[in-house]
Chain A
Amino acid sequence: MSSQMRLVNLCSNLMPVAPMATVTSTIHSERETSMADQTSFNHANAIEIKGLNKWYDAYHALKNIDLTVAHGERIVVCGPSGSGKSTLIRCVNSLEAHDNGCITVDGTVMGDAASIEAIRAEVGMVFQQFNLFPHLTILQNLTLGPMKARGLSRKDAEERAMKYLERVQIPEQADKKPGALSGGQQQRVAIARSLCMEPKIMLFDEPTSALDPEMISEVLDVIVDLAESGMTMIVVTHEMGFARRAADRMVFMDHGKIVETGTPSEFFENPKTERCRAFLNQILKH
């Protein structure tokens, strides 16, 4: 009960005083429903971000971000470098701690360590630099999480690993070390490693930015395939062709703010803001 109150306070610390009572009661009743009926944990939204702020010392990296992602929705976040795109998605699984505001992932309000652990169990992440474990084989990279964090037997974990390696189309590399693979293959392994944890939500932090041009499409194909399977995802990327193909909604950020959101067709054909138009002109010029 006390932790619930703390979380409610955490959420409301940015809210104006007047509507605080209503906010509290909404969250309260939601929690009670979920406690009453554990089996139907059916929340309308996969991710809810409200009034999110983040500072790096004096630098205001995220300014009052509000973003709601529905289940199964595919969001592409773009914007100039330093606009806070990566910081935003890194807040979603608490790799970066936010300073105030409220993040709810699949019904879990981010607060204490237990809630962060619960959220990370639902959220997979793919990094720009792959971040594979170089001392382990591909197969060991994939089985480490399921075996140690989920308690799967080696046999089950390896079966699952091979299933996802086949899905990203590199089962034959299972016994190699990451260093022996190309960048594109490494990133596909990284995607498979995340999938082995069977997350409900996937975050991609510039997944193709560190790749040679000829390897970008093999990675994007895997991500598109995943998008088509109904996975909820937030992708930070500059690949606008991919965004048109796979995104339900575009989010454009600049200077730590969400400047514009919209469907890909609205966004590309008819951007509302001048800043967004300028950005698109820059990256679509060539």
Chain B
Amino acid sequence: MKNLFALVALTLLTGCGSGGNWGWYVINPTTTQGWNNITFLLDGFGATILLSVIAAVMSMVIGLMVALPGMSSNRWIRMPSRIYIEFVRAIPLLPMLFWVFYGLPVVLKSMGISVSIDAFWGAVITLAISDSAFTAEIYRSGIQSIARGQTEAAKTIGLTYAQTMRYVILPQAIRRILPPLANQFIYIVKMSAFASVIGMQELTRRANELVVTEYRPLEIYSLLILEYLVLVLIISFFVRWLERKMGADESR
């Protein structure tokens, strides 16, 4: 691993000096211009993280609300959830983002609700909805992996559906749900890059803007990729820690 990094670093650094194909000066922290550029790029972290976290939390809430009726034995209760999941899963993120950002305010206005959706909330809503179909399926598989006998035992001691979920099923299912859910969070972080196209000032947008002024796409996008890499590696580390902790819990 270390060797690989050294090799990559060496290639890039030697590239710097050879024939001017590389222009690392744009993000050279020792120069004022380079330092300003770097801080400009890194400032996008806050927006990317905030956007991802809010979207992930919303997606988890919507996902649960979709997943629970989706497991009903009554097909009329089950059907809206299935339709929601199939429908949302079929829409690519980018068209949905355009629709929410440009189309949804028009729809809401025609219903007499006058709200403007800014880039941040447009992106949050899109990511949350788009991801909720997947989180719903994660909940479903987690909950269905809990043996049916648990629900039956809960019924025989008089628990209601809500009590059964709250005290019996979810505490057990959460151990199987959390790791894939955390994994899904990585996906949200990466997809948040799409928010750049509606003008949301996150990591990718800032990189794009800098490229337009500096004309150094290779160097700037390389740094951009590095930014996501660091972010995702940190989350991955957390996910693996979580999986170990949950796995250990289950065998106890």
- In chain A, positions 80-120 with a C-beta closer than 8 Å to chain B are 93, 95, 117, 120
- In chain A, positions 166-216 with a C-beta closer than 8 Å to chain B are 177, 179, 190, 193-194, 196-197
* Residue pair B158, A121 in contact (C-beta under 8 Å): yes
* Residue pair A135, B171 in contact (C-beta under 8 Å): yes
A119 to chain B, nearest CB (A): 11
Which of A121, A134, A196, A197 has the most chain B CB within a 10 Å cutoff? Answer: A134
A110-147 vs B, CB cutoff 8 Å, 1 = contact: the mask equals 00000001001101110101011111000000001100
Q: Pick the residue among B153, B159, B172 that contacts A149 (CB under 8 A).
A: B159
Using CB atoms, name the residue of chain A closest to B249.
A135
* Residue pair A123, B156 in contact (C-beta under 8 Å): yes
B45 to chain A, nearest CB (A): 38
* Residue pair B149, A127 in contact (C-beta under 8 Å): yes
**Contact status of A148 and B155, CB under 8 A, knowing A127-B149, A134-B172, A179-B252:** no
* Residue pair A93, B158 in contact (C-beta under 8 Å): no
B207 to chain A, nearest CB (A): 46
Using CB atoms, name the residue of chain A closest to B158.
A149
**Contact status of A124 and B153, CB under 8 A, knowing A144-B167, A148-B167, A177-B252:** no
* Complex contacts, A95 vs chain B, CB 8 Å: 152, 155-156
* Complex contacts, A127 vs chain B, CB 8 Å: 149, 152-153
B28 to chain A, nearest CB (A): 55
Q: How many residues of A contact B (CB 8 A)?
A: 27
Measured CA separation A148–B252 after assembly (Å): 26
* Residue pair A148, B159 in contact (C-beta under 8 Å): yes
* Residue pair A133, B158 in contact (C-beta under 8 Å): no
- In chain B, positions 110-129 with a C-beta closer than 8 Å to chain A are none
* Residue pair B156, A120 in contact (C-beta under 8 Å): yes
* Residue pair B158, A120 in contact (C-beta under 8 Å): yes
* Residue pair B153, A132 in contact (C-beta under 8 Å): yes
A31 at the interface (CB under 8 A from B): no
* Residue pair A193, B158 in contact (C-beta under 8 Å): no
Q: Pick the residue among A129, A135, A177, A197 that contacts B157 (CB under 8 A).
A: A197
* Complex contacts, B149 vs chain A, CB 8 Å: 127, 129, 131
A150 at the interface (CB under 8 A from B): yes
Using CB atoms, name the residue of chain B closest to A190.
B153
B144 at the interface (CB under 8 A from A): no
Using CB atoms, name the residue of chain B closest to A180.
B252
- In chain B, positions 167-201 with a C-beta closer than 8 Å to chain A are 167-168, 171-172
B163 at the interface (CB under 8 A from A): yes
Q: B-side binding surface: helix, strand, loop or mixed?
A: helix
* Complex contacts, A148 vs chain B, CB 8 Å: 158-159, 163, 167
* Residue pair B155, A145 in contact (C-beta under 8 Å): no
B150 at the interface (CB under 8 A from A): yes
B199 to chain A, nearest CB (A): 47
Using CB atoms, name the residue of chain B closest to A94.
B155
Which of B152, B157, B159, B168 has the most chain A CB within a 10 Å cutoff? Answer: B157
* Complex contacts, B159 vs chain A, CB 8 Å: 144-145, 148-149
Q: Pick the residue among A117, A133, A150, A196 that contacts B153 (CB under 8 A).
A: A133
* Residue pair A149, B157 in contact (C-beta under 8 Å): yes
* Residue pair A194, B172 in contact (C-beta under 8 Å): no
Measured CA separation A273–B168 after assembly (Å): 45
* Complex contacts, A129 vs chain B, CB 8 Å: 147, 149
Which of A121, A135, A149, A179 has the most chain B CB within a 10 Å cutoff? Answer: A135
* Complex contacts, A194 vs chain B, CB 8 Å: 156-157
* Residue pair A133, B252 in contact (C-beta under 8 Å): no
* Complex contacts, B152 vs chain A, CB 8 Å: 95, 125, 127, 131
Measured CA separation A95–B150 after assembly (Å): 12
* Complex contacts, B172 vs chain A, CB 8 Å: 133-135
Measured CA separation A181–B252 after assembly (Å): 12
Using CB atoms, name the residue of chain B closest to A148.
B163
Measured CA separation A190–B157 after assembly (Å): 11
* Complex contacts, A179 vs chain B, CB 8 Å: 252
A168 to chain B, nearest CB (A): 16
Using CB atoms, name the residue of chain B closest to A116.
B155
B232 to chain A, nearest CB (A): 31
Which of B147, B156, B159 has the most chain A CB within a 10 Å cutoff? Answer: B156
B80 to chain A, nearest CB (A): 21
Top 9 closest A-B pairs, CB basis? A145-B157, A149-B158, A131-B153, A131-B149, A125-B156, A148-B163, A135-B171, A135-B172, A95-B152
Give 28 A-B contacts (CB < 8 Å), ordered by A residue.
A95-B155, A120-B156, A120-B158, A121-B158, A125-B152, A125-B156, A127-B149, A127-B153, A129-B149, A131-B147, A131-B149, A131-B153, A133-B168, A133-B172, A144-B157, A144-B159, A144-B167, A148-B167, A149-B157, A149-B158, A177-B252, A179-B252, A193-B153, A193-B157, A194-B156, A194-B157, A196-B157, A197-B158
Query: Known pairs A93-B155, A144-B157, A193-B153. 11 more at Cβ < 8 A?
Result: A93-B156, A125-B156, A133-B153, A135-B172, A144-B159, A145-B157, A145-B158, A148-B159, A149-B159, A149-B163, A194-B157
